[in-house]
Structure 1
Amino acid sequence: MRKAIAAGLLAVGVLATGCSGGDDADSGKVEGEITVLTQRTDIVNTVFQEYKKRFEAKYPDVKVKFEAITDYEGEVRIRMGTKDYGDVLLIPNSVNADQLPAFFEPLGTVDELKDRYRFVRTEQTFDGKVYGLAITGNAQGFVYNKKVWAQAGITAPPKTPEEFLAALKAVKEKTGAIPLYTNYKETWPLGQWEGLRGTITGDPDAVTKLAQDDAPWTAGKEHHVIDSLLFDVVKQGLTEPDPTTTNWEQSKGLLGTGKVATMALGSWSVVQMQAAAPDKADIGYLPFPTQTNGKFHTVVSGDYKNAVNRNSKHKAAARAWVEWFADESNYAVDQGGVPVVLGQQMPATLADLAAADVQYLEFNPAPKGQEGLDGKIGNAAEIALFDGKYRQRIVDAARGAKKESKEDIFADLNKRWKQARATVK
């Protein structure tokens, strides 16, 4: 199961129309029956039933009903053309920030909530108001098989790209495992490399600066560092022999059992890899191999956000669920994620980051009017940053399937990016 990427996708026409205002039947009391929509079809009849028991014990006048949806994005987008889209739901990725007030009840202002919850300063907010609380958060780096790395003699996280490459070479020579698996065929896993921006500089304004830069693939800049490492890993034969035959589901078992040593994925992947491993302790998480001021950094961002349908007849009960889920369910930590509540202990799945004294970083909000500008520039330049397609080109060149050098690719990316910046406002 993939996790949602917290990024605005193309708006669907039905969303642009909005809905009428909330229902006057809302009593303001924490009572009534509420329907909670979820994408977790795998645990709705197990883990979520325990949540229901605990929540209803605290709020005995509320009854919770779940509706698990396989094609969550597709079905909920359609239902949002009506008032019938549950009382609590995960905000679809296709909802733009300026559309939030048409569909969801505000939970408070950014100023009111920013000292309690992560991700509310920049995600699913509009005009200073917060419309959703994340169900969990993700760090960015590399999921890896610790047992394989230890067999190769590497027991500390590499601090530079050169050390990382040397570690992967040792894995190949001493263990026979595939050092790094790109999951090239599925495309989206290569987009996970984009999540590494900000980790190199430790700069909370990294995304804003990217949108203001005419040449992000210039030597020394973050995209040059990230994509150079990808190119070099492939060029040096440290990835799967034939990337065109990769398989996402099978790759979990490969990493879990030590046939693959490393993948570039968000920290959401740790639990899934552990489930495929004979021993959960074999799976760990590495920071990107750069340090700023002697410290590793990882960017943390929110997953799907729980929100209250503005048309709900039981908004108080729905809001109580949203807050209880963030504050008391322990979902984030149980799923190996970054806690949504500030100050809560990080999960055991991220123990390697704690041991390496990795600094957690959240991006600052973009200047007003520049929200999502980096994505707009990328789309206009046909360099969709998160979908992985342009990085397939890098892999193809590195493995000799295309006759172009790393320098050729970066020069072309810079040219197209600059041209797009001149047209996108």
Structure 2
Amino acid sequence: MKKKGITMLMAAALMVTLAGCGNSNNGGNTETNNAGTAGNATTTTENATTDNKPAEPEKKEDVTIKVFQFKVEIADALQKLAEAYEAETGVKVEIETHGGGEDYSALLKAELAAGEEPEIFNSSGWAGFDPYVDRATDLSGESWAKDLVEASKAQISRDGKLLGMPMNLEAYGFTYNKDLFAKAGITALPQTIDELEAAVKKLQDAGITPFALTSEWWSMGIHTMNISLANHDDPAAFIEDVKAGKATFKDDPIMKDWLRLVDIMFANGQKNALTTDYNTQVAEFAAGKYAIIQHGNWIQGMVDEVNPEMNLGMMPVPLKAQPYAFTGVPNNWIVNNKSAHPEEAKKFLEWMVTSETGQKFIATDFKFIPAVSTITPDTAAIGKIGGDFATFSQEHPEQVKGWNWDRFPDGITQQWGSAMQEYLGKQITGDQLLEKFDKAVADIVKR
């Protein structure tokens, strides 16, 4: 993202998160039982009975819409939301979740290739959205579109049209166990790679394994890789140069520093990292086995299931002159115009972000920092990770960078993740890793 865009994103996220944020009228709703937009109020009036009491919504018992979605962290809560929607409208919402260790993108493409057309599916933005543009319904005219955090729109817009609903805002860096840091005598967060190395040694000397690692391709091929991309002065320009063959990862000085960071992480994680999946990684971190995990506020709900009192914070990742944390839109809800019920799908999304029930699920059950400004965040639900990040972002907005991996065509990050697995397993050298990064870009851009 450009600096202006990310500043806008962070300003909005912070105002929403910390202020509780400034929406004292609950998104323009003056009554607790009348949540939603003016459009919803009009519908209620039109359906009113003669004694001015609102009528029950018309139920459609024969309609089923399918949601093919990525976010494993909200799978249970999303199912409950679907059940609440069916109880209110009669429309059945079938949830199918594929994430964690699964390759969601490949599974979605297989689903579509097989002729299955879910009403709603998830897609990232920028180039990651390109394969699905022809299926995306224009949502520009939806009532909630005007209330989106401004900087969340560009990644899912084409030719002035909003082609998806941004799911939420997320941030990541190094989430760390404050109690374990204190036990190791670490009194200040590391600001440089040298200081990180020194902090890691203190943890090791105290008998604490510093890093909770995972072999998941997406964690390494997306989030770890973005640390290097975001540290460029102009990430978008650097990425375009790499795609055009004008620059390479192998010859990039920032990638050399990034390799040192990766080496520190890989050399100071658990012994079975190569066989550790995402769920196990987070669960063991939540159990206090490790001091640092490279994830963001999205793990808060999973941590709370294990240890709701865990004393967590998020620290920026040191690489260059100053450390950075990273924020963006993780995914979008896309309404599939080739499905059987796209209009019903739009109504479901409308209800999700405007009804009192839907807003409560987003803010509290999903533990989201909303991308829709009319939803008041639940600061208690967002938790310590997001709260710590919000405080840092407010005090150091210049140390917050964006998400850049989706500026590359689909398939590249998967190959990066595979190469990272080889590097974690000590099957290739650092130079070979960077060569594989370059080859992945060259192979896919040529297609």
TM-score normalised by length of structure 2 = 0.65
Q: Among residues 67, 84, 91, which one is paired with 1:64 in the alignment?
A: 91
Structure 1: tracts of 5 or more residues without a match: 1-28, 365-370
1:241-265 deviation digits (Å, cap 9, x = unpaired): 3544545443333211221111223
1:48-68 deviation digits (Å, cap 9, x = unpaired): 435654x689xx6x4331212
Q: CA deviation at 1:156?
A: 4.0
Q: Among residues 348, 355, 361, which one is paired with 1:321 in the alignment?
A: 348
Change (3 A) 1:310 1:392: closer
- For the Cα contact (< 8 Å) 1:139–1:298, is it kept in 2? yes
- For the Cα contact (< 8 Å) 2:301–2:367, is it kept in 1? yes
CA-based RMSD = 4.3
Change (3 A) 1:217 1:225: farther
Report the AA paired with residue 143 of structure 1: T
1:181-214 deviation digits (Å, cap 9, x = unpaired): 3324x4443223123245435x5x4144223141
1:289-324 deviation digits (Å, cap 9, x = unpaired): 2576x6x54332333322323256765553232234
- For the Cα contact (< 8 Å) 2:212–2:292, is it kept in 1? yes
Q: Among residues 337, 340, 344, which one is paired with 1:310 in the alignment?
A: 337
Report the AA paired with residue 205 of structure 2: E
Q: Among residues 216, 237, 241, which one is paired with 1:212 in the alignment?
A: 241
Change (3 A) 1:131 1:238: same
CA–CA separation in structure 1 for the residues paired with 2:147 and 2:249: 33
- For the Cα contact (< 8 Å) 2:77–2:361, is it kept in 1? no
CA–CA separation in structure 2 for the residues paired with 1:329 and 1:316: 21
- For the Cα contact (< 8 Å) 1:179–1:239, is it kept in 2? yes
1:268 aligns to what?
298
Change (3 A) 1:45 1:247: closer
In the TM superposition, 1:130-145 aligns within 5 A as: 130-145=162-177
Q: Does 1:181 align with 2:223?
A: no
CA–CA separation in structure 1 for the residues paired with 2:72 and 2:425: 36
CA–CA separation in structure 2 for the residues paired with 1:103 and 1:387: 27
Structure 2: tracts of 5 or more residues without a match: 1-46, 48-56
- For the Cα contact (< 8 Å) 2:239–2:407, is it kept in 1? no
Q: CA deviation at 1:108?
A: 1.3
CA–CA separation in structure 1 for the residues paired with 2:419 and 2:338: 41
CA–CA separation in structure 2 for the residues paired with 1:329 and 1:247: 31
- For the Cα contact (< 8 Å) 2:174–2:294, is it kept in 1? yes
1:350 aligns to what?
386
Q: Among residues 185, 198, 203, which one is paired with 1:153 in the alignment?
A: 185
Change (3 A) 1:153 1:272: same
- For the Cα contact (< 8 Å) 1:34–1:88, is it kept in 2? no
1:363-398 deviation digits (Å, cap 9, x = unpaired): 69xxxxxx966447x84xxxx56642222344455x
Change (3 A) 1:288 1:339: farther
Report the AA paired with residue 350 of structure 2: E
CA–CA separation in structure 2 for the residues paired with 1:92 and 1:395: 26
In the TM superposition, 1:357-396 aligns within 5 A as: 357=393, 358-359=396-397, 360-362=400-402, 374-375=408-409, 379=412, 384=413, 387-396=416-425
How many residue pairs are counted as aligned between the two chains? 362
Q: Among residues 224, 231, 236, which one is paired with 1:200 in the alignment?
A: 231
CA–CA separation in structure 2 for the residues paired with 1:421 and 1:89: 27
Q: Does 1:240 align with 2:287?
A: no
Q: CA deviation at 1:163?
A: 1.6
Q: Does 1:35 align with 2:71?
A: no
Change (3 A) 1:250 1:339: same
